[in-house]
């Protein structure tokens, strides 16, 4: 039985997929909060690399060339394996076929490098010398720290304070790559100071850390802001996951009935789902797309679709998104990468139009799923990815009840080796569920 | 430029290589310490699975079939990639071609699963219900915990105390796989009690932890001891690394002039080196084999070749080995997996006969090498593997000075994501070198 499918190097995708060009209803434009006018590429270029800004608003080109030097860096770790989870299937005694895309074996242990590399490459091309960003769990910050080093850029990372405490090793990893790491909220920005003044024990959130990083980028010469999720250009870069998976599923002789990924801002979800979704749009496929979010941070299942800021201080354009409100203070769950108030613009429109669905999962269920996955497949998953595993197990059990042989594909977006304190809490019975409270 | 080489699944080795059969001078036999007679397979079977005991003393069969169920489990993560380290080469500005076998992407993050799977499989086949072992850094303990779970065995791991403190996440990983983890020296065995009585603050050592695990195995019904390195059967299982690498180097169109691995007991070194060494023995190749050990635990470069115990309490047979003495108390370096007083029997004979060489490397040099490797290749290596990287860098620099284009192959035996406290110390300037003091 073949367990892993790799692409021959010659089959590696040379273009990313931009679903914006193919969407029946285009996303609403981001707005300048002052003028309420749609933002332009030039507006966004104050914050981001110009090429990223272009991709962000590109609703016409479905395929975007991967720059040759980025492609060369991808070859260090891509394709990532597509794995058939026979042992998990057997344990669940399900007729479902379960596959996962194993992004955890990339350097840094997650999918985040897929976008960190092009973002830093574009910055370098455009004469930028410094990049900055926010990070929750630290997966994005670690990836950016390495990508910055690859292209000779200085890197400063605002890490959400609670994640920093939960996962101290991730800060060490970023420092090992030469990045400066600052706990957020910090006193180094106006946005951070404002929050600390109101709430000195604020645990931080992605929204706040984004504000701090944007403030640094806009007040520092030759410095650009980069983002690890939420935005359209990130989803474009992450499409490499789904494009590879599409070819690898062909090698396995199957096509997914269900595609599942965890959901923070939407990058690993979109990355895996969108290349398959185009076959729903054009080729009569009926794949079901499930985004798994924490039930304590449920923007997909309980958020409102409206214009909102992407950060807590209101530095970003207004984005048309499912949101819990940009001042939402998420519970201290261990899946730091999912502690974000809003959903990316593309996903929000697709959810509104019924092309995908959200499910919300309690923390304990995610760790139960993670432990089962570890004991069967040998890989300790990131708490974020454990949401996708839990949703997969729910579907596999449904298949068993219904006697249906469905093919499920999920994204193992990262490993959890830096998250062992969370597993300790779970193993000791100290882990709890949090419920959602509207802020 | 191709960066990674994978074997097609059909090319995965179906047999392990046993260099004992091909050695010009066979290793001296292990001796029963009481009688000074060579131990038999039956003697060893009191401690180990019978099949492992057979392999241990097998000096006639160069090729041993990999059992089908083990081969099926190997397919989950093997072949591991052979990677050309272009970025490191470029940084060093060396004419050398540097390749590494990346065992860090296996589940559990190291090469140790290669032997944990067959050892547990054989135990299961022979009706064993419980396995026990020692672990230093925890790589072996983690691999055994998972392999025991795969085959439905109970697992108890004695972990060296100082490593447990340095790498708390590794204990959490073992517990997540359902293993019992005991800090060694412990009060649960006579061997542990004896040591604690003499030295209550004893940091532990692999030698002591082995004594404790053997004592548990020999006093518990249906329980076998397993070992992650040192012994011949472990080196046999690990030959999968070198056998794959041999085919992968062919894919790359090269043959190594130098093969390098770090050295604790010899398993990852032998695993990579022995398949290539047979071409020195039979096919007129002149590859140089370098085992990189800590300068604070230098059995290869400063040990004596003589009969000694494999553990500190004297429970094992007497082994003909390069040793620092079985009561040697190694310094608290972060490369916990290399804190062992002796070298495996096969390696010891090969070293004595001039087929390989040892180099000893100070701790600071290993972390300097590790950081450079992380910043160029994106992977944070285990402190153990960092010894191989440091030795590789020395050779690559030599190539530069001499203007020689040599091909170097080293084993990246594991990643260092669980070892970030060590990197923190290094980054903070708190890491020190230890020198060797004869005990």
Report the distance separating Cα A214 and Cα A46, nearest Å.
10
Q: Which residue(s) pair with A101 in the sheet?
A: A82, A411
∠ at Cα A19 (A17, A24), nearest 5°? 155
Residue A135 lies in a domain: no
Alpha helices in A17-127 (DSSP H): 41-45, 50-56, 68-74, 86-92, 113-125
Q: Would you call B105 helix, strand, or coil by DSSP? A: helix
| Structural domain includes residue B332 | yes
CATH code at position B267: 3.40.50.1100
How near does any CA of chain A get to the CA of B18, in Å? Answer: 27
- Tell me the C-alpha to C-alpha distance, in Å, between residue B143 and each of B18, B140, B171, B210, B259: 22, 5, 12, 16, 25
- Which pLDDT belongs to residue A137? 82
Question: Is B122 within 8 Å of B404 (Cβ atoms)?
Answer: no
**Residue A103 placed within a domain:** yes
Contact A159, A134 (CB under 8 A): yes
Cβ neighbourhood burial of A72 (10 Å; 0-12, 13-18, 19+): middle
Q: How long is chain A? A: 439
Handedness of CA B317, B323, B327, B329 (dihedral sign): negative
Report DSSP state, residue A112.
T
User: Angle at Cα B196 formed by Cα B264 and Cα B310, nearest 5°?
Assistant: 30
Sign of CA dihedral A113, A115, A118, A120: negative
**Which of B4, B109, B379 is facing A75, going by the closest CB pair?**
B4
Nearest-CA distance A199 → chain B (Å): 30
Q: How far is A405 from chain B (nearest CA, A)?
A: 23
pLDDT of residue A268: 97
DSSP assignment of B28-79, as one string? PPPB-TTT-PBP-HHHHHTTS-HHHHHHHT--S-SEEEPPHHHHHHHTTT-S
Residue A407, both tokens: 């093919």
> Is there a contact between B178 and A150 if contact means CB atoms under 8 Å apart?
no
Per-residue pLDDT tens for B273-290?
999 999 999 999 999 999
Please report the DSSP string for B279-329 in residue order.
HHHHS----EEEEEEETTS-HHHH-EEEEEESSSSS-SPEEEEEES-TT--
Residues of B in contact with A87 (CB under 8 A): 150
DSSP H/E element including B354: none
CB atoms within 10 A of CB B430: 8
Q: Which helix (H) or strand (E) holds B197?
A: helix B190-198
* CB spacing of A176 vs B374 below 8 angstroms: yes
What are residue A224's DSSP bridge partners?
A131
Domain annotation covers residue A439: no
| Residues whose CB falls within 8 Å of the CB of residue A269, separated by 6 or more in sequence, listed in order | A261, A262, A263, A291, A347, A411
Q: Which of A108, A168, A423 is opposite residue B378, by nearest beta carbon?
A: A108
Q: What does the H/E/C string look like for A366-416? A: HHHHHHHHHHHHCCCECHHHHHHHHHHHHHHHHHHHHCCCCEEEEEECEEC
Is there a domain that residue B308 lies in?
yes
- ipTM value of the model? 0.93
Q: Which residues pair with B203 in a beta bridge?
A: none
Tell if the CB–CB gap between A2 and B75 is shorter than 8 Å: yes
Which chain A residues have any C-beta within 8 angstroms of a chain B C-beta?
A: 1-4, 6, 9, 72, 75-77, 83, 87, 105, 107-109, 113, 146, 149-150, 168-169, 172-173, 175-178, 371, 374-375, 377-380, 417-418, 420-421, 423-424, 427
pTM: 0.95
Pull the structure tokens for residue B244: 């794959």
Site from B141, B374, B412 to mutate, A interface, most A CB atoms within 10 angstroms: B374
Strand pairing report for A258-262 and A288-294: parallel
Question: Where is B272: in which H helix or E strand?
Answer: helix B267-282
Per-residue pLDDT, B163: 86
CB neighbour class for B362 (10 Å; exposed up to 12, middle 13-18, buried from 19): middle
Query: Which residue from B171, B234, B182 is spatially nearest to B211, judged by alpha carbons?
Result: B182
Taken as a whole, chain B contains a residue count of 439
Chain A closest CA to B371's CA: distance in Å? 7
Q: How far is CA B36 from CA A18, B29, B45, B281, in A?
A: 73, 10, 18, 32
Q: If we measure between CA atoms, which residue out of B388, B357, B384, B371 comes closest to residue B98?
A: B388
Report if residue B399 sits inside a domain.
yes
Task: Give a yes or no: residue B83 inside a domain.
Answer: yes
How sure is the predictor about B332, in pLDDT bands with cuts at 50, 70 and 90?
confident
Interfacial residues of B (vs A; Cβ cutoff 8 Å): 1-4, 6, 9, 72, 75-77, 83, 87, 105, 107-109, 113, 146, 149-150, 168-169, 172-173, 175-178, 371, 374-375, 377-380, 417-418, 420-421, 423-424, 427
- Say if the Cβ atoms of A375 and B177 lie within 8 Å: yes
Q: d(Cα A13, Cα B37) in Å, to the nearest integer? A: 63
- DSSP letter assigned to residue B418: T
**B349-370 per-position pLDDT tens digit:** 999 999 999 999 999 999 999 9
Per-residue pLDDT of chain A (439 residues; tens, 9 = 90+): 889 999 999 999 999 999 999 999 999 999 999 999 999 999 999 999 999 999 999 999 999 999 999 999 999 999 999 999 999 999 999 999 999 999 999 988 999 999 999 999 999 999 999 999 999 889 999 999 999 999 999 999 999 998 888 888 999 999 999 999 999 999 999 999 999 999 999 999 888 999 999 999 999 999 999 999 999 999 999 999 999 999 999 999 999 999 999 999 999 999 999 999 999 999 999 999 999 999 999 999 999 999 999 998 899 999 999 999 999 988 989 998 899 999 999 999 999 999 999 999 999 999 999 999 999 999 999 999 999 999 999 999 999 999 999 999 999 999 999 999 999 999 999 999 998 987 6
Does the residue A182 lie in any domain?
Answer: no
Chain A contact set for B105 (CB, 8 A): 105
Q: DSSP character for A220?
A: S
What would you measure as the largest C-alpha separation in chain B, in angstroms?
61
Total domains in chain A come to 1
Q: Where in the sequence is the domain holding A381, given as residue range(s)?
A: 78-109+234-427
pLDDT in tens, B223-262: 999 999 999 999 999 999 999 999 999 999 999 999 999 9
Measure in Å the smallest separation between the Cα of B20 and chain A Cα atoms: 32
> How high is the pLDDT of residue A389?
98
**Region of residue B271 (left: phi > 0; alpha: psi -120 to 50; beta: else):** alpha
């Amino acid at each position: 039985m073949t367990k892993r499918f790799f692409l021959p190097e010659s089959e590696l995708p040379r273009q990313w997929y931009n679903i914006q060009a193919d969407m029946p209803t285009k996303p609403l434009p981001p707005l300048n909060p002052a003028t309420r006018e749609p933002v332009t590429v030039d507006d966004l270029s104050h914050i981001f690399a110009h090429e990223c800004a272009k991709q962000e608003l590109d609703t016409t080109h479905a395929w975007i060339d991967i720059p040759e030097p980025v492609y060369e860096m991808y070859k260090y770790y891509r394709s990532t394996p597509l794995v058939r989870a026979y042992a998990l299937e057997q344990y669940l005694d399900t007729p479902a076929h379960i596959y996962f895309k194993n992004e955890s074996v990339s350097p840094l242990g997650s999918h985040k490098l897929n976008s960190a590399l092009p973002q830093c490459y574009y910055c370098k091309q455009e004469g930028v010398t410094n990049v900055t960003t926010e990070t929750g769990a630290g997966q994005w910050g670690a990836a950016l720290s390495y990508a910055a080093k690859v292209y000779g850029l200085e890197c400063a990372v605002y890490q959400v304070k609670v994640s920093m405490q939960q996962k101290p090793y991730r800060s060490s990893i970023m420092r090992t790559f030469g990045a400066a790491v600052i706990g957020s909220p910090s006193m180094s920005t106006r946005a951070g100071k404002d929050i600390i003044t109101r709430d000195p024990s604020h645990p931080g959130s992605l929204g706040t850390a984004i504000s701090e990083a944007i403030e640094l980028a806009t007040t520092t010469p030759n410095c650009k802001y980069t983002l690890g999720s939420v935005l359209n250009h990130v989803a474009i870069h992450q499409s490499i996951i789904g494009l590879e998976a599409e070819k690898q599923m062909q090698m396995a002789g199957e096509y997914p009935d269900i595609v599942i990924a965890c959901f923070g801002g939407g990058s690993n979800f979109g990355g895996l789902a969108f290349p398959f979704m185009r076959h729903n749009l054009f080729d009569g496929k009926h794949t079901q797309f499930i985004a798994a979010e924490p039930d304590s941070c449920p923007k997909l299942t309980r958020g409102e679709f409206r214009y909102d800021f992407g950060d807590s201080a209101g530095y970003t354009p207004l984005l048309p998104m499912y949101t819990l409100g940009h001042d939402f203070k998420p519970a201290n769950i261990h899946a730091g990468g999912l502690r974000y108030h809003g959903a990316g613009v593309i996903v929000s429109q697709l959810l509104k139009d019924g092309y995908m669905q959200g499910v919300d999962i309690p923390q304990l269920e995610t760790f139960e799923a993670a432990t089962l996955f570890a004991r069967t497949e040998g890989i300790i998953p990131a708490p974020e990815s454990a949401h996708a595993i839990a949703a997969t197990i729910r579907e596999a059990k449904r298949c068993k009840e219904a006697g249906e042989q469905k093919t499920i594909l999920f994204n193992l977006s990262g490993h959890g080796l830096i998250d062992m304190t969370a597993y300790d809490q779970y193993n000791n019975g100290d882990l709890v569920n949090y419920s959602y409270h509207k802020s």
